[in-house]
Every structure is written in C-alpha cells, then in structure tokens.
Amino acid sequence: MKIAMIGTGYVGLVSGVCFSDFGHDVICVDKAQHKIDALRNGEVPIYEPGLDELLDRNVKSGRLSFTLDLAEAMEGVDAVFIGVGTPTRRGDGHADLSYVYAAAKEIAETLKGYAVIVTKSTVPVGTNREVERIIRETNPDADFDVASNPEFLREGAAIEDFMRPDRVVVGIESERAKDVMAEIYRPLSLRDAPIVYTGLESAEMIKYAANAFLATKITFINEIANLCEKVGADVQAVSKGMGMDGRIGPKFLHAGPGYGGSCFPKDTNALARIGQDHASPQKIVETVISINEDRKRQMVEKVLDMCDGRVAGMKVAVFGVTFKPNTDDMRESPALTIVPALIGKGAKVHVVDPQGRREGEDLLPGVTWEDDAYAAATDADAIVLLTEWNEFRGLDLDRLARGMNTARLVDLRNVYSRKIAEEAGFTYAGIGR
C-alpha cells in the first residue's frame, strides 16, 4: 500500500516509520522545512528508543521518505493519515482541531482517485464527520471514505506498542474502506493482534474513555497513598494486592506526583468539556483533573516538610524532569509545577535528566543543569527524585549522602526503600509509606 502521513510529530512520525517497516511505501509530510531537512539527514527530532534505527533502515530500503509537498505525497495514494497535533485550546479546554481541519482541506485540494482519509490524531466525537464535510465541500467530486484510527502509543515504548498492540481500533462505514484498512494492518493480523472495527463515533470515544480511565487509576492510587500515610499502611503493598485482582490489574497503580504528558491532561480536559457541551457532565473525570493538579502542589509541601518548612537559600537536587522515563517530553510534567514553586520559595535548584535538558532549558528558567546525579547532589540540602529513569535506580546512596550538605531524600516515585536510604545516612520521605 502507498500511505501519506501528514504530520511528523510524535504520532505521525512513529506511525509512519512503523507502517514502512510493515512493508508499505510511506511518505511523511510536514510544513516545517527544518524538520523535513533533519529527517532526510537521518536526524530524529524526538527521543523515542529505537526510532532512529528503524527510520534509518526503512529510508535505506526506499520505503520511507519525507517531503514538504502534499501534492507529491498524494500521487497514487491508498490512504492518507492525519497525524497532526490537537493541543488543548486556550481558554475553554477543548481540543484545538484547526490543524486537523486545515489538513482535511488541503487533502481535498490534492486528492485524485479513491483514498481512505484516516484520522490518527486524538480527536473529539464528531471530528471525522466534520473532516468528511470539509472534504466534500472543498472537492465535491472527491472519491474517498473517512476512517478513525486512534493511536495508543506510550512514549518510551511506542514501537513495541505499534508492533504488538493490545488492540487496533478502526472506525469505518464502508466495506471498501475496511478492505484498505485491513490490508494496511495485515501484518498485525498475521500476529493475531485484535483489530476492532466500529463506527466513527465509537472509535473516537474509545480513545478518550481509555485515557480517562487510566488517568483515573493513577489518581485513585495517589488518593489511597495519601490515606496510607495517615494510617500507617504501605501503598506499594496495597497496589500489589489490588493489582493481583484480574478485574483491576497492576498497571497504572503506582503512586507518584501526578500524571502528565501529551495525552492524559489534554484528553481528560477534552472529555470533560465534551460532557459539559452535551449536558452529560463527566463528574469523575472532572474530579480526576482537579485532584491531579492539587497533587503536584502537595509534592511541593512534601519537600518543604522534609526541609523543616523552608528551602530559602538551600540547594535542592532534582533527579528527572520529563513526565516519565524514556522520553524527552516535558508536556504537563509535574516538574513544571514543582520546580518553579521551589525556586519561588528561594531554593537553588540543580537538575539532572538524561533527555530533558533540550526542552527543559526554556521551560525551567533559573535552574542549573548538571551532567550526572552525583554532581547535582554535591553540597545539596535535599534530593527530590521526580522521574524514575533507570539511571536513578542503582545510585550509590552512600556516595550521594557523603557529598551532600544535609542528606535528605524525597523519593516521589518510591524507587528506594526507607531502610536502604536510612542505612546510607538519608532522612527519607516516600509516597504513601
């Protein structure tokens, strides 16, 4: 199959590269000259483990290419995937669909022959209907079908998620479109990956409902962690016991400083607004959003409590600022609340993160960036472990403690046990323990 992928951001680039690895001919389109130039030179603009090698292999095979010219990409195409951003719109919490609708109009202007127009971006219910309307209005003679194919890619594990998905969701309304989508995903069918065919609206809703539910699990266990601290329970033991129930499952039951990233904050906000617009308020989701914002501020108080109520003039080492490990993504990271709050209270914050500096330098003004954890902790009055990178899981705690002015460890990911930390000389605070 020949596929055009519009957008070379996280969703578009990962999807395009993986489709080419399936054996399809994929041409990725973007308006940004610098991104296309970089990709043609084999430079990947995002950090995703394994993506650079996969891109290089498929470019060399001739199955993957990049262009600024949509008309070029549309020649003889079987399917056009829209993989542009849908950020939260300022002011009202809705998803900003301007990039999706602009792409639909440009597709209509260049479409020749039959193609399936596939929305890969996360979009609210009704968006695919509007994409269809825009294309028909712009080009009444266009021969096409619209499909909804939401992505379920975890940053840091996106290639594995694409190649071995829990399920593939395809919203369609014609057998012709189903045949095209079945052929595109045939390599996964051969691996017995479940492919779920639904209507357009159901496919759109599945994405939002899934992300909102996972965000709810995270928020639930964070609330339980607060209670555990009050009653003397251990949230890790509670999570393990809960997760062994097959109806609940162990994933997303890890207490921490709150969820962030490109999906959960944006999608929960959008789902809440959709509910309000249709007089069907999503009260659980609205509460999850509120609790998650409060959670980040609570973590600042936890650091202050460890430091006897004040951090003014103290050096605080922060280990990890991306919203999760194995990504360079800073979007909605708890660090964007916690670090500025500490600086605002007079702390001298030194940060170390394996991939976060590129985005973090602009997003976290006033911090000092260090190359490794030991340098960041030298002469520090406290360490805040904020992102559980593997590099921070096996640190020499004795060495860290010896180099500090005051050995305090605020472990917001429960990477270390209290016993091990205290044996190394730390005063220790974890989450829900």
- Residues 49-98 have pLDDT tens digits of 999 999 999 999 999 999 999 999 999 999 999 999 998 887 777 889 99
The CA distance from 266 to 112, in Å, is 35
Q: What is the pLDDT of residue 19?
A: 98
Q: Tell whether the model's pLDDT for residue 214 goes beyond 80.
A: yes
Task: Specify whether the CB–CB gap between 303 and 311 falls below 8 A.
Answer: yes
Distances (CA, A) of 40 to 2, 21, 46, 49, 314: 19, 17, 14, 19, 46
134-181 residue pLDDT tens:
999 999 999 999 999 999 999 999 999 999 999 999 999 999 999 999
Question: What φ, ψ does residue 429 adopt, rounded to 5°?
Answer: -135, 125
Residue 393 is labelled as binding a ligand = no
User: Does the structure show a pLDDT above 80 at 191?
Assistant: yes
Structural domains present in the chain? 2-198 (3.40.50.720), 208-290 (1.10.1040.10), 294-429 (3.40.50.720)
pLDDT band of residue 245 (cuts 50, 70, 90) is: very high
Query: What local confidence, expressed as pLDDT, does residue 310 receive?
Result: 95
The whole-angstrom separation of Cα 322 and Cα 336 is: 9
Neighbours of 308 (CB within 10 A): 9
Residue 295 among known ligand-binding residues: no
The answer to whether 133 is annotated as binding is no
> What is the pLDDT at residue 359?
93
Q: Is 86 annotated as a binding residue?
A: yes
In this prediction, residues 345-372 reach a mean pLDDT of 96
Is there a catalytic annotation at residue 228? no
* H-state helical runs in 145-249: 158-163, 175-184, 186-189, 200-231, 235-243
Kindly name the residue from 18, 28, 228, 263 that is annotated as catalytic.
Answer: 263
Sole residue written with tokens 């409060």: 294
Q: Is 2 marked within a binding site?
A: no
What's the pLDDT at 88?
86
How confident is the model over 214-236, as a mean pLDDT? 97
Q: What's the whole-number mean pLDDT along residues 198-217?
A: 97
Task: Please indicate if the annotation marks 112 as binding a ligand.
Answer: no
- What pLDDT sits at residue 119? 98
Per-residue confidence (pLDDT) for residue 93, from 0 to 100:
78
Whether 266 has a binding-site annotation, put simply, is yes
Average predicted confidence (pLDDT) for the chain: 96
Tokens representing 293? Answer: 């914002």
Q: What is the pLDDT of residues 268-295, one digit of tens each?
A: 999 999 999 999 999 999 999 999 999 9
Annotated binding residue 264: no
Which one, of 97, 161, 84, lies nearest residue 128 by Cα?
97
pLDDT in tens, 313-347: 999 999 999 999 999 999 999 999 999 999 999 99
Mean of the pLDDT values across residues 422-431? 97
The set of residues, in sequence order, having a beta carbon less than 8 Å from that of 275 and lying 6+ positions away, is 281, 282, 285
